[in-house]
A and B are shown apart, each in its own frame.
Chain A
Amino acid sequence: MSTSDVVITETRTMPYGFTCGVVAAAGAFFGLFVGTAQGSGLAGIVVGAALCAGLAFLAMAVAGVAHERTFKWGVLALFAVAGFWIGALPGLVVGTLFGWFIGWFIYWVGRCRYRSKLPPYLTSGQVLWHYSFRVICGAIFVFLITPILVVMPLSFNAQNFFTFTPEMLAFDPAGYSLKHYRDFFNSADWQQALRNSLLIAPVATLLSVGFGTLAAIGLSQPHVPFRRAIMAILISPMIVPLIISAAGMYFFYSRIGLQGTYLGVVLAHAALGIPFVIITVTATLVGFDRSLTRAAANMGADPVTTFFRVQMPLILPGVISGGLFAFITSFDEVVVVLFVGSANQQTLPWQMFTGLREQISPTILAVATMLVAISICLLTTLEVLRRRAEKLRGLSPG
């Protein structure tokens, strides 16, 4: 069921002065950028404002709602052609986008559609604030997501630059290539790093999930002495700043000869992953019905059978998501491995870190893009698991 079709406030045609004024302001705003890019900001403002005000008047007075669709296509085509004339292919894209926007904006403002989903008693100020608030939030979302989005296209750059080359902006195929991905797969250093990451993370995850699940089951028993103290100790790897963990582990592991060994890194990463397993699994166990194990015991199952046949399948989503957290912790971790590991244990994040600090190469962006893809997969898995767990517990209707 969608609520988007419900109209709360009736639409009407706004006074021409208002419509033309608002649309002209928008036009002036965009005109400023086009103008400055072309040499004169003032001319841009004037032309933009005049053009958009004219279009708005045309739409309201001549086209009306009857020819809305035709008018929008016309505006879109107009700006697309103008954009192509000024700035070739990138201009065409920007022009099309702007044409689509201004066509929609004229009718949105002119027909008072912005009120259609809001209660009729709101004052103009409140409506303005409502949309300003959304624009602010939109800007924050842009801030959140842009850095990740920018990295992806840049990783297909044919040049060794960290910015969009003119060829890329012109959508010239010559500006794009898989060069950096090839570099990644052909470089011995990066491949070694990938192998190390894939060797270390799963073993560390297994260790933390194995120990962590057992302990979480123990912790969720009704009578546990020193529960708070034990919990505080087990959670501490997550709270203590990584640099301190790294320093302590470096000192201690070099004392006992684990510094610079594969085992040392695995143990360190397992310790860092444990809090995540504990937290997720204990959270799952809160919803676990204890009478199920009693029932199993009643029917003659020994504790091991009960655990694997009754309890484990039910808490599995929690265990898996805890394991994913532990895996990503180890897979992303760089501070501890920098100190505890040696050149033989260089992981992907280590390689990225040294790359960023010393000889920055765009191969890093290719790796970054692949890591983003991995995190999207993990995020999806977790979301599916969460839904499944909620459904199992009957908490969620859908």
Chain B
Amino acid sequence: MSDATNDSTVGAPARADDPQAQKRADQNVSKSGQMLAADGTPLKRSLARALRRQKLRALMLIAPLLIFVLLTFIAPIADMLFRSVENEIVPETLPRTVELLGSWDHESDEAPGGEVFEAFYYDMALAAQLKNHTRLGTRLNYETTGISSLFRQSGRDIEDIGDVYLDQFEDLNEAWEEPATWIALMGDPDWRAGYTEWFDDGQEGAPPGFRPSEAAEEMLPRTTAVYQNFATFTAGARRDSLAEDEPWPVAYTALYQDLMATPAAADAFDGDTAALLREAAGALSDFETVDFRSYFIDEIDEDWGDPNVWATIQTFSGPVTSGYFLNAVDMRQTADGAAMQPEDQQIYGLLFKRTLFMSLTIMGCCILLAYPVAYLLANLPMRTANLLMILVLLPFWTSLLVRTSAWKVMLQQQGVINDVLVWLGLIGDGSRLVMINNQFGTIVAMTHILLPFMILPMYSVMSTIPPSYVRAAKSLGATNWTAFWRVYFPQSVPGIGAGSILVFILAIGYYITPEIVGGTTGTFISNRIAYHISSSLNWGLAAALGTILLAVVLILYWAYDKIVGIDNVKLGG
């Protein structure tokens, strides 16, 4: 039953004089006095169901697009917000160090103790094998310059520590060179059988996942952890395999330490493996050892003794950080909390201020130029106005790059404007004006590009102002100026507001035009974001700057929605 009849049944008793209607109404009322729909269900429920179905149908129509936009647009924006605080790389690459470093006092003027260095050795040695240490170095270098090269160099030298133990184990018994020895030592018997089968069968597909034996896990925890990493790496790399390569040197260091900690480890194993371990455990006391802390500081790089380096790692050890946001507002996070950047590195405040200043200037220029034009268009006869409107719409429809390249052609020192001025003799050939690659160029080009966005909303508001108001004001004795200022102008303010917010929102996030005509002094914050994404690769900082810009735009958008309404956005007049 359709909505229209529902209304009439509700209103039916009022038309009691119509006998047929009365009869129909009686049929639709149940004994308890409830309204009934044609199929006998209570009208209320029937209506609710119809409404629900209608809502559902509308949502079904919207759903594909909503999902599409959420996946292709909102998800990327959310990802960017996430990246602006994300700091997984430090705790992921240095899990052991981060755990121990938590209790280190950064004000002690001294690098942390041997324990931390031991943990750091393992983290770093594994990271160096996986080539993760350079990425980590780059990340920490954003906070303290110099760390990048420190990490890169340490990654090269760190194998030497493991090699010390590796040589001694291999001198002791050549069996330690054999990959098979290690498989026998570390692997679970079932896994070993599966792996050997896979290896002999031509190595089709992925190898069976490594599973350590219980004995190894219990007696040789450090070695197991390292070997586990090695197994995962070889399985992923595919060029290496557990049966053909001896493990990384760091495994020998781990084995030495495990045997030192548990001299009786061999008892848990049997056969050749037990014999090997027993032999090694017996020889350990004669081994040449390495003190991690002094090796790092004395042999690899004295910077490891610098507490600042450790303070940086400690400060950025959490999985999330506010460091990027602090950087984006010229501050930095230190172990003691947030602090201002040094004077010479404060660039973002200046950049934000410049972006704001230039956007406001562009907005002001647009208002000044758009107002007369919109006024003229709104007050000319329809036919003439439509013709002149083409002059506004053509630039609006022309490609942004075409207009930008046109301004580049016009404003260059060997460009059209300078040539005309020289030809007219207003300036000398030697003193051509510099109008591009500075703020002036950006402001002129962007005013031109955004002018239609100001004219169109102004025009649509002004064309609704009745001309009789101004005439009435004049007939009451107002001068031209008073009539305009007190009567016409206040009515055109909504147009100015709509246009201004629109132009400001567009201007503040502009990238292409400032990049081409802005040089170094005419660039916006967006150019810096692009620089961090594609050149300096500091994605976190780019994301933080983007988030701040997005917040500003969203506030303006909200204001625009309040003042104008999103539904009232018009395109092209």
Contact = CB atoms under 8 A, between A and B. Distances in A.
Interface of A: 3, 33, 36-37, 41, 126, 129, 133-134, 136-137, 140-141, 143-148, 150-151, 154, 161-164, 207, 211-212, 214-215, 217-219, 221-225, 230-237, 239-253, 255, 267-268, 270-271, 274, 276, 279-280, 282-283, 325, 328, 331-332, 334-335, 339, 349, 352-353, 356-357, 360, 364-365, 368, 371-372, 375-376, 378-379, 382
14 contacts: A134-B376, A151-B406, A162-B408, A218-B58, A225-B59, A237-B69, A239-B554, A244-B550, A247-B529, A271-B68, A368-B399, A371-B398, A375-B394, A375-B399
Contacts of B72: 249, 267-268, 270-271
Q: Which of A140, A249, A353 has the most CB of B within 10 A?
A: A140
A140 B76 contact: no
B395 A378 contact: no
B376 A251 contact: no
Nearest to A219: B62
B397 A378 contact: yes
Given A140-B369, A141-B388, A147-B407, A241 B553 contact: yes
Contact of A335 (B66, B392, B425, B511): B511
A375 B397 CA distance: 6
B571 A325 contact: yes
B379 to A, nearest CB: 10
Contacts of B65: 211-212, 214-215, 234, 274
Contact of A148 (B70, B398, B566): B398
B394 A255 contact: no
A221 B567 contact: no
Nearest to A211: B65
B410 interface: yes
Given A211-B65, A379-B394, A143 B426 contact: no
Contacts of B564: none
Contacts of A325: 571
Contacts of B451: 143-144
Interface stretch (B19-27, B170-178, B238-246, B412-420): B412-420
Interface residues of B, number: 93
Contact of A353 (B51, B452, B516): B516
Contacts of B561: 232
B530 A148 contact: no
A136 B372 contact: yes
A175 to B, nearest CB: 15
A89 B247 CA distance: 86
Given A217-B61, A241-B550, A332-B401, A251 B69 contact: no
A379 B409 CA distance: 25
A219 B58 CA distance: 7
Interface stretch (B77-85, B102-110, B194-202, B489-497): B77-85
B142 interface: no
Contacts of A242: 509, 511
B329 interface: no
Given A244-B80, A251-B543, 19 more contacts: A136-B372, A137-B376, A162-B408, A162-B409, A162-B414, A163-B415, A211-B65, A218-B59, A223-B51, A240-B550, A247-B80, A247-B530, A250-B533, A267-B72, A332-B400, A339-B534, A356-B405, A360-B408, A378-B397
B406 A368 contact: yes
B566 to A, nearest CB: 6
B69 A271 contact: yes
Interface in B429-455: 448, 451-452
A247 B543 contact: yes
B296 interface: no
Interface in B168-217: none
Interface in B505-555: 505, 508-512, 515-516, 526, 529-530, 533-534, 539, 542-543, 546, 549-550, 553-554
Contacts of B77: 240, 244-245, 248
Contact of A239 (B58, B69, B388, B505): B505
A66 to B, nearest CB: 32
Given A141-B391, A145-B395, A247-B542, A368 B73 contact: no
A13 to B, nearest CB: 28
Contacts of B530: 243, 246-247, 339
Contacts of A215: 61-62, 64-66
A185 B573 CA distance: 36
Nearest to B509: A241
Contacts of B372: 133, 136-137, 140
Contacts of A145: 391, 394-395
Contacts of B534: 339
A240 to B, nearest CB: 6
B17 to A, nearest CB: 29
Contact of B401 (A161, A207, A231, A334): A334
Residue from B62, B75, B83, B515 having most chain A Cβ neighbours under 10 A: B62
B373 interface: yes
Given A137-B376, A215-B66, A365-B409, A279 B569 contact: yes
A35 to B, nearest CB: 8
A243 B509 contact: yes
Contact of A236 (B74, B416, B543, B549): B74
Contacts of A147: 395, 403, 406-407, 409-410, 448
Q: Which of A41, A237, A243, A246 has the most CB of B within 10 A?
A: A243
A356 B408 contact: yes
B188 to A, nearest CB: 35
Contact of A276 (B55, B376, B423, B571): B571
CB-based closest 6 A-B pairs:
A241-B509, A218-B61, A36-B425, A248-B76, A147-B406, A252-B76
A126 B426 contact: no
A245 B398 contact: no
B480 interface: yes
Residue of B72, B554, B566 with most partner-chain A CB within 10 A: B72
Contacts of A3: 381
A144 B395 contact: yes
B4 to A, nearest CB: 10
Contact of A223 (B55, B61, B542, B566): B55
B80 A334 contact: no
Contacts of A331: 399
Interface in B301-353: none
Contacts of A136: 372
Contact of B58 (A148, A164, A224, A368): A224
Contact of B54 (A148, A221, A244, A356): A221
B49 interface: no
Contacts of A234: 65-66, 69
B295 interface: no
A130 B184 CA distance: 100
Contacts of A225: 55, 59
Nearest to A268: B72
B16 interface: no
B509 to A, nearest CB: 2
